[in-house]
Amino acid sequence: MKIQKLAKGNLNRFASVVQQFGELHAPVAQNTGFVSSP
């Protein structure tokens, strides 16, 4: 398995990159819990 590393400061830029592969869904807070949301 290939392994690389990504600086945490670049995570949002990478999130922009992956949107070319599909609609991005990620966990966000909702009321007292969390939901996976676009």
Partner 1 sequence: MSNWSEVRLDYTRTILPPKKYFLPPQETLFRYEPGQGYVPFREGLNQHIVLFGLHACDIYALNILDRVFAGKYPDPYYQARRKNILIIGIDCIPDEHCFCRSMRADFADKGFDLFFYDIGDYYLTFIGTSRGDDMVQAGSALFEPVSAADVEEYKLRSARKRGSFQIDVDIRDLPEIFELQYQSGIWDAFGEKCLCCGTCSMVCPTCYCFDVRDEVEFGSGSGTRTRHWDSCLFASHAEVAGGENFRKTRAARIKYRFYHKQRGFVAEYGRPSCVGCGRCLSACPVGIDIVQAIRQLQGVQHASV
Residues near partner 1, by CB under 8 A: 1-8, 10-30, 33-36, 38
Closest approach of partner 1 to the CB of residue 37, in Å: 8
Rounded Cα–Cα distance for residues 30 and 10 (Å): 26
Residues 6+ apart with CB under 8 A from 36: 25, 26, 27, 28
Closest approach of partner 1 to the CB of residue 28, in Å: 5
Which amino acid would we find at residue 35?
A: V
Closest approach of partner 1 to the CB of residue 9, in Å: 8
